[in-house]
Amino acid sequence: MRHLLTTRDLSRDRAIALLDIAEDMADVSQREVKKLPTLRGKTVVNLFFEDSTRTRISFEAAAKRLSADVINFSAKGSSVSKGESLKDTAQTLAAIGADGVVIRHPASGAPHVLAQSGWIDAGIINAGDGTHEHPTQALLDAFTIRRRIHGAASRGKGLDGVRVTIVGDVLHSRVARSNLWLLPTLGAEVTFVAPPTLLPADTSGWPATFGFDLDAAIDARPNVVMMLRIQAERMSAAFFPTSREYSRAWGLDDARFNRLGTDSIVMHPGPMNRGLEISSAAADSVNSTVLEQVANGVSVRMAALYLLLSGDREDA
Ligand code: CP
């Protein structure tokens, strides 16, 4: 694998292979000595032009567990705030000798520009670009679902027949757009439920079904309910039902949570708006995988770094 920019071009076999490597990495993380020497001598740069808690620290933990050197770069406090371009920033990282760049950027497509530019010869991982994609989030979501369903027998398996309902601010969600491609590739059936104003106008070609009624979706007893964060920072007031309207119609409140099956999985990529898209009872329940998703993110990101930075980088 040369870069990880999108889940759209991942084949089923390749996705399952990555999840299986993540299982191996999770085994390493259980050991007393959590480190592998695999990426000793490699340098990974976390290049974050947008805020992050989970993604940035889990990539840092993942790289360190593989013995890579890690440089954390935040646009705030850097020469980006003086107007330095992505090109000059990338060429600076190339001069430092970066082998891998994990980039989060507010502009959709920025990681693709970096990968295709020739400014830097490094493996590029998209850690979230605008409203476009967040591939490692979808991979850790798939890993988490697979583990909850198949447990210790997960290796080699997809998500065949698993019914996943993704709820909320689909319009602005890069998590939704990466899960949109990956989960059906693995055999899952995906339904999106959202206010009409928070679904994209054009969803042609999306391998999913769509609805506006969360109560009907809950009564269909999905295996997985994935709540999305309301991204208030990306929307104007015209888009948004009021908070009260939103939580009443599209929030996973206590009453809706109690109607789910006892073995239904409740997911959220974080950060959560408690009381808006999800109640604390749902977020903190045994059905919730919110913290498992964070822990599994380290294993999945170790697998991605391993595939990009160890040995020869393949073009696929
Ligand atoms: N899920 C996610 O991307 O969280 P952060 O913004 O904290 O990285």
Residue 86 pLDDT: 93
Cα 129 to ligand 1 centroid, rounded to whole Å: 12
Whether residue 193 contacts residue 211, with contact meaning beta carbons closer than 8 Å, is answered with: yes
- For every residue of 4-59, DSSP letters joined together read B--STT--HHHHHHHHHHHHHHHHHHHSSS----TTTT-EEEEEESS--SHHHHHH
Per-residue pLDDT of the chain (316 residues; tens, 9 = 90+): 899 999 999 999 999 999 999 999 999 888 888 899 999 999 999 999 999 999 999 999 999 999 999 999 988 888 888 888 999 999 999 999 999 999 999 999 999 999 999 999 999 999 999 999 999 999 999 999 999 999 999 999 999 999 999 999 999 999 999 999 999 999 999 999 999 999 999 999 999 999 999 999 999 999 999 999 999 887 766 656 788 899 999 999 999 999 999 999 999 999 999 999 999 999 999 999 999 999 999 999 999 999 999 975 565 4
Cα 285 to ligand 1 centroid, rounded to whole Å: 21
Whether residue 2 contacts residue 308, with contact meaning beta carbons closer than 8 Å, is answered with: yes
ipTM above 0.85, yes or no: yes
Using a 6 Å CB cutoff, which residues line ligand 1?
52-55, 128, 137, 269-271
**Domains in the chain and their CATH numbers?**
12-134+294-309 (3.40.50.1370), 135-293 (3.40.50.1370)
Which atom of ligand 1 approaches the CA of 269 most closely? 1
Residue 222 pLDDT: 97
- CA-proximal residue: ligand 1, atom 4 (nearest): 54
Count the helices and strands in the chain (H runs, E runs): 11, 9
Whether residue 314 contacts residue 1, with contact meaning beta carbons closer than 8 Å, is answered with: yes
Residue 40 marked as a ligand binder: no
Residue 313 pLDDT: 59
Cα 178 to ligand 1 centroid, rounded to whole Å: 14
- Pairing of β 43-48 and β 69-74: parallel
For ligand 1, mutation pick of 49, 52, 74 (most atoms within 8 Å of CB)? 52
Residue 8 marked as a ligand binder: no
DSSP state of 1: -
Cα 269 to ligand 1 centroid, rounded to whole Å: 7
Residue 134 marked as a ligand binder: yes
Residue 61 pLDDT: 97
- CA-proximal residue: ligand 1, atom 3 (nearest): 55
- CA-proximal residue: ligand 1, atom 1 (nearest): 269
